[in-house]
Structure 1
């Protein structure tokens, strides 16, 4: 099975590369440093490194405390950070500057992986959440580089997928030295695909530990003046393809009841910014784009967040948050970020990637689930019209985050046992 998998990746690699160049039409970052994906990079061979891989911007954001604590515990070791997209690379640069070395994640082909390992020479590999790459993990096992799955989670959908690969999946997962999972439910699902109890530990989610620098609060105050202080504001964050139509329908309904309402709309993928701006105008909305750096007026009903790295700031100027990727079947996005700012949170029915955390928020009356545009609009109207109820849900959200901090410290303790 491994040979078939490898052959499949080798056949697809040229198409993956062509896709990078195709996507670079909208985001030139996709064609930059593309040879790194084949294991070639200009930086000289690195000594004594710890390699962290995070696929999404949210996963990169979640590593803040992890990187800080690793640098404190291992001051002589270089942190090597890989991502798969330019947006991830930009977030690494924004968070860590020159404190880490960034590379694009190499294709999971044995000779590419071996070339990469020879140059990077990691002493440990830390993969975030769901990043399971068979050839990389097996190569690390064979060369005695301990691999750690950090903040691990496994949905029922992913479990069914891995089960189809039988013994091959077991071989891959047993190549991981430590599986640090978010919840008891995740642990049970990992056991069902062959992860042993002695490999696994329940640490909770490191996303509870993410904190924002004081400057974000200052920037939020400036942005509040930009969009107009005193206006009721809700944010639709990390929206996905096919979801903006529902969000815009909801906002039209909201504006009928609360004419002064402003929606901050932040699509998840930057290459869609222009398309979403056109969609807003087609639906009859007057919008202001963040990239224009101009002040909103009363006629502007939508503020399009077409910038990178500013979502935390935008959350802080909102009164209510809807987290996207949940009204379409993509499994949701990180709901802890708005919760940490004391915002009442809304999300749709598709939250399988954040099932445990979303249920925690629901149980603590820190969030509500909405099934469609009408339900979304009605709940936003209710919260914007009732400051007391809005504050109750927001405070419950903030308290839940505070009470569940500490996963990163547990994770670093586990990592240190592999020294």
Structure 2
């Protein structure tokens, strides 16, 4: 073990009490964090092995909600290519685990990924002995990769992305990052920029196979319900989608200073469920009339309020379909932007803030295609969304461009699934 990884391992070992305390705090707002806590440290019940025991698993790690939804597309395609697939699905967040439960078949297993200490990783690998590991997007952990290398478990980093900020951080810690990336069996990058950054960190011959999120097919029932909301609304509907902390306050400032914005039906959907109550309180304290999605159920949303608050999970297609246009959350604060591809798949034009480094190439392509426009700040974003409402021809063109943009980039799920199968076959024939 290198000096860098030895020091890293000591730090992760020493941080375990802090992790336990953090989990207890998070569980107060999200009870899922109190579930199966020993698994976080590599202690798994023997019955989690399922019917056939260890050594049968295609292991996929999807850290949180967005990665799990992308993994769903990959899992469905892998099941077509590998009819006998036994899925071991791991996560790190409660929302990811809850979403992942929808993807399980009777012989599949779902557990937490262990904290990245050598001992916890070793217990995880000894228990399950996966045939292959598939890490979604960014989840390269030094001890996890080293443990898999020792255990002869090939690791594939799929739907891989690495923004400029993360790339700079990885270079600063190259004594840890370079051996980890170099030990991967395959790297399947979203874009050419991602592939080049990963290559510079030591990843072996990254392939550019596109972004799984383009293959998402929104639920037609949710799209239809959203269209009915939009038709029933007495005012145009604008959406602040997947907003992060601080962005609702920025929006509130823009709303107060823009009389035309006060004539619009606004829909605000916070990214994290633990913030629903806080956002509702913020808006109410500002004197706005707020109706929460959880309160109107199957009825049409009320028309005599300033804001509809989307306080539900799994309904983003409904929210995008109900809006004439959307402002993309996490792009008006320096957080890199949320998933703009989901909005495009729902034919919803997008106003992007200045911070979209998580989806840099997709953001550029969306703007170039007419599916999105760029705003300098929240005030400018609100005005740009209003401009679409004032020009019905431009708005119709943006709706069509958004859908065309999403459809033009599909096919990543099949390409990535086939690449993973090739890695499995290489292991099979190299270990007869």
Write out per-residue CA displacement over residues 102-152 of structure 1, whole angstroms, 9 at most, x where no aligned residue. Answer: 212210111111111122221111111111111111111121111000011
The match for 2:207 is 201
Note if 1:357 corresponds to 2:362. yes
2:327 aligned to 318, 322, 325, which one? 322
Specify the SS of the correspondent of 1:346: strand
**2:155 corresponds to which of 147, 159, 183:** 147
Q: Report the 3-state secondary structure (helix = DSSP H, G, I; strand = E; otherwise coil) of the residue aligned with 2:60.
A: strand
Contact conserved, 1:64 with 1:210, CA < 8 A, in 2? Answer: no
Match of residue 252, structure 2, among 248, 255, 268: 248
Q: Are 2:306 and 1:301 aligned? A: yes
Count of residue pairs brought into register by the alignment: 414
Aligned counterparts, 1:208-227, within 5 A = 208-221=214-227, 224=230
Deviation at 1:258, TM superposition (A): 5.6
User: In the alignment, what sits opposite 2:117?
Assistant: 109
Q: 1:310 is matched with which residue: 287, 307, 315?
A: 315
Which of residues 282, 306, 327 is equivalent to 1:279?
A: 282
**Within 2, Cα distance between the matches of 1:99 and 1:326?**
40
Q: State the partner residue of 2:422.
A: 417
Structure 1 portions without partners, runs of 5+: none
TM-score scaled to structure 1, two decimals?
A: 0.94
Q: Does 1:87 align with 2:91?
A: no
3-state DSSP of counterpart to 1:25? helix
For residues 178 and 248 of structure 1, the distance between their equivalents in structure 2, rounded to whole angstroms, comes to: 46
Q: Is the CA contact (8 Å cut-off) linking 1:332 and 1:352 kept in structure 2? A: yes
Alpha carbons 2:371, 2:401 under 8 Å: kept: yes
The residue number in structure 1 matching 2:237 is 233
8 A contact 1:47–1:78 mirrored in 2: no
Q: Deviations over 1:66-116 (max 9, x none)?
A: 111111112212111111111111211245575742212210111111111
Residue 185 of structure 1 pairs with residue 190 of structure 2: no
1:25 match: 28
Aligned-residue offset at 1:25:
1.4
Q: Which of the numbers 10, 13, 33 marks the counterpart of 2:13? A: 10
Q: Could you tell me which residue of structure 1 aligns to residue 429 of structure 2?
A: none
What's the CA shift for 1:232? 0.9
Structure 1 residue aligned with 2:57, among 45, 49, 54?
Answer: 49
State the SS of the aligned residue for 1:298.
Answer: coil
Q: Assess, with a 3 A threshold, how the Cα gap between structure 1 residues 259 and 352 changes in structure 2: closer, same or farther.
A: closer
Q: Name the stretch that deviates more: 403-412 or 245-254.
A: 245-254
For the pair 1:398 / 2:406, whether they are aligned, the reply is: no
| Distance across 1 between alignment mates of 2:227 and 2:370 | 28
Give the one of 370, 374, 381 matched to 1:376: 381
Asked if 1 retains the 8 angstrom alpha-carbon contact of 2:64 and 2:97, the reply is no
Please give the alpha-carbon distance, in whole angstroms, between the structure 2 residues aligned to 1:298 and 1:152: 43
Which residue is 2:428 aligned to?
A: none
- RMSD (Å), alpha carbons: 1.8
Q: 1:46 to 1:387 in 2, by over 3 A?
A: farther
Name structure 2 gaps, 5 residues minimum.
426-432
